Amino acid sequence: MALMTGEQYVESMRKMKLNVYMFGKKIENPVDDPVLRPSLNSVKATYDLAQMPEYEDLMTVTLEDGRKVNRFTNIHRNTDDLIKKVKMQRLCGQKTAACFQRCVGMDAFNAEWSTTYEIDKKYGTNYHENFKKFVRMVQDEDLTVDGAMTDPKGDRGLAPHAQADPDLYLHVVERREDGVVVRGAKAHQTGIINSQEVIVMPTIAMGPDDKDYAISFAVPTDAEGITMIIGRQSCDTRKLEGSQMDVGNSEFGGVEALVVFDNVFVPNDRIFLNGENEFAGMLVERFAGYHRQSYGGCKVGVGDVLIGAAALAADYNGAQKASHVKDKLIEMTHLNETLYCCGIACSAEGRPTESGNYLIDLLLANVCKQNVTRFPYEIARLAEDIAGGLMVTAPSEKDLRDPVVGPYVEKYFRGVASVSTENRLRCLRLIENLTLGTAAVGYRTESMHGAGSPQAQRIMISRQGNIAMKKELAKAIAKISE
Ligand code: SF4
Ligand code: FE
C-alpha cells in the first residue's frame, strides 16, 4: 500500500479494538470521542501534509528501492535526512500547535535499527532481521507507531529487580518456545491511542540481575492484555462544552495515557532485545538522543504559533508599537530560534552508526533538550506578559453570545475598535490553551520532562563534554608543562 491519506488513517484507527479508559469509563469509540479526537487529528495532520505537493520533500522520503514512505517511518540515511526530520517537525508544530505524536515511533525506529545490529554482531541473534521486517511493514502500510520507554519506576533508588512490586518495570514473566509473555506498564504515552503499533523499550541501563527487564519488542496496540488509561489535562472537559472558542485550539491536541501490559504475548519475530542487558543503555541513550533532537523541531513549531498569537494580542490591544512589546517579541524569537539552531546543529553533526543509519551528535542533542527545559517557559511567560490578565479572566463564549450580558462583554472587552471582541478573545484563548490549558502539557511540562528530565541531559552533557581535552587546550595556551 502507498501512503495513506488522512481519512484512510482515521478509518484504520476506527478498525482497531483499543481498550481505552477515561474518567472511569471504557471508551468504546475513541476515534469520535470529543476529548480524544483533537489528538487523533494531530496525527492525521502528518498524513494530510504528506499528501500536499508543497511539503512532499519534507514529509516523504523516496527510498533507494523506489518506495515512497512517510518521513515519520524513515531510517535516516544521512545528515540531510536528520535535518529534514527537524524541519518536518517544525512544520507539523506550526500546523497543529500540539504534539503530533508520530515522532516517538520514528525515534524508536532509528534507535532500534542500530542497536539490534550491534546486538546481533555480538551474540549472533536475529533481532536486526526481525526489526527490518517490522520496519518494512510499517513503511508499506504507512502506520503510526508509539515508542514506549518510560516505566512507572516505583522507588527511584532501587534497580528494576529490587522493587517491592516487580511489575514497576516492564518485564518478561514467561518464556515460551514461540515467544515471551510480558507484564508491566509504560507511563506518559503520548500517541498510544492513535497508533496501530507500539515499540516497547527498556527505560534505563540495566545490570545482569535485570535480564528479564532488558526486553524490547513491538505489538499491535490492540493486542490482548493492553489497557490504556487516559491522563487528565488542565481544562480537558472544556472540549465537552461545545464551544470552539473556549478551547483555544479546537482542532488539534495531544493526550497521554498509562499503558498497562497485563500478560501480553510477544511472538519471537517481534522481539528486538531479550536479556542482553548491556545493550539496554545503548537503546535508551540513542532513543533519548533522537527524541531530544526532535524537540528542537516540534517545540519550535508550537513556539512559532505562540509568538504569532502574542504578536496578534499586542495588535488587538493597540500595543504593537510599544518598544517593550517589540523587544519581548524579539526575545521570544531569539529563544525559539536558539532551540531550532540546536535541533539543526545536532543533525548536521550526525554520524553513521555501524548499521549504516545516522545518529545525531549526542552532546548537541542533549544541549538542545536542556534548552527546551527552559526556553518554552520563558516564551510562555513573555506571551502572558504581552497578552495581559484578560487571558485568564475573560468570560465564556456562552456569555459573549448571551442576549443579556453579551453586549456588555462585546463592549467592554473590545481592544482596538477595528477588531471584533470575538477575535480578541479567540486569540487570548489560544495563548491560554498553550500556556495553561490542555496544550501546556505538551508545550511546558513535556518540555521539562519529555525525552528525559533536565538532570538526564546534564549527565549526558558531563559524559560527552570532554573536559580533559579542554584542559589540555588551556595548558597549551598557557604554556603549562606538567
Ligand atoms: Fe513529536 Fe514533539 Fe510530540 Fe515528541 S513531543 S512526539 S517530538 S511532537
Ligand atoms: Fe515527547
Residue 100 Cβ contacting ligand 1 at under 6 Å: yes
Residue 37: what pLDDT? 98
Q: What is the pTM of this model?
A: 0.98
And the C-alpha cell for 356? Answer: 549504516
- What gap in Å lies between CA 204 and CA 169, rounded to an integer? 10
What are the residues whose beta carbons fall under 8 Å from the beta carbon of 334, sequence distance 6 or more? Answer: none
The alpha carbon of 227 and the centre of ligand 1 are apart by a number of angstroms equal to: 22
Q: Which residues face 261 on adjacent strands? A: 184, 226
Residue 97 Cβ contacting ligand 1 at under 6 Å: no
The answer to whether 50 touches 95, Cβ cutoff 8 Å, is: no
CATH numbers and ranges of domains, the chain:
6-278 (2.40.110.10), 282-469 (1.20.140.10)
What are the residues whose beta carbons fall under 8 Å from the beta carbon of 168, sequence distance 6 or more? Answer: 151, 152, 153, 154, 155, 160, 184
The answer to whether 292 touches 366, Cβ cutoff 8 Å, is: yes
Residue 2: what pLDDT? 85
And the C-alpha cell for 37? Answer: 479526537
The answer to whether 119 touches 279, Cβ cutoff 8 Å, is: yes
What are the residues whose beta carbons fall under 8 Å from the beta carbon of 282, sequence distance 6 or more? Answer: 115, 118
Query: What would you measure as the largest C-alpha separation in the chain, in angstroms?
Result: 85
Q: Using CA positions, which residue lies closest to atom 6 of ligand 1?
A: 101
What 3-state DSSP class applies to 146?
strand
Residue 295 Cβ contacting ligand 1 at under 6 Å: yes
- Cβ atoms within 10 Å, residue 472: 12
Phi, psi of 315 (to 5 degrees): -60, -45
DSSP one-letter string for 402-451: -TTTHHHHHHHT--STTS-HHHHHHHHHHHHHHHTSTTHIIIIIHHHHTT
- 102 Cα nearest atom in ligand 1: 6
What are the residues whose beta carbons fall under 8 Å from the beta carbon of 106, sequence distance 6 or more? Answer: 71, 72, 73, 74, 85, 290
Q: How far, CA to CA in Å, does 5 sit from each of 9, 10, 76?
A: 6, 9, 23
- What gap in Å lies between CA 36 and CA 30, rounded to an integer? 6
| DSSP character at residue 137 | H
Residues annotated as catalytic are: 99, 103, 190, 256, 291, 295, 298, 446
- For the chain, 482 residues long, give each residue's pLDDT as a single digit of tens: 689 999 999 999 999 999 999 999 999 999 999 999 999 999 999 999 999 999 999 999 999 999 999 999 999 999 999 999 999 999 999 999 999 999 999 999 999 999 999 999 999 999 999 999 999 999 999 999 999 999 999 999 999 999 999 999 999 999 999 999 999 999 999 999 999 999 999 999 999 999 999 999 999 999 999 999 999 999 999 999 999 999 999 999 999 999 999 999 999 999 999 999 999 999 999 999 999 999 999 999 999 999 999 999 999 999 999 999 999 999 999 999 999 999 999 999 999 999 999 999 999 999 999 999 999 999 999 999 999 999 999 999 999 999 999 999 999 999 999 999 999 999 999 999 999 999 999 999 999 999 999 999 999 999 999 999 999 999 999 999 98
Q: Using CA positions, which residue lies closest to atom 8 of ligand 1?
A: 99
Residue 1: what pLDDT? 62
- What gap in Å lies between CA 426 and CA 403, rounded to an integer? 20
Pick from 46, 86, 89, 101 the residue to mutate for probing ligand 1's pocket: most ligand atoms within 8 Å of its CB. 101
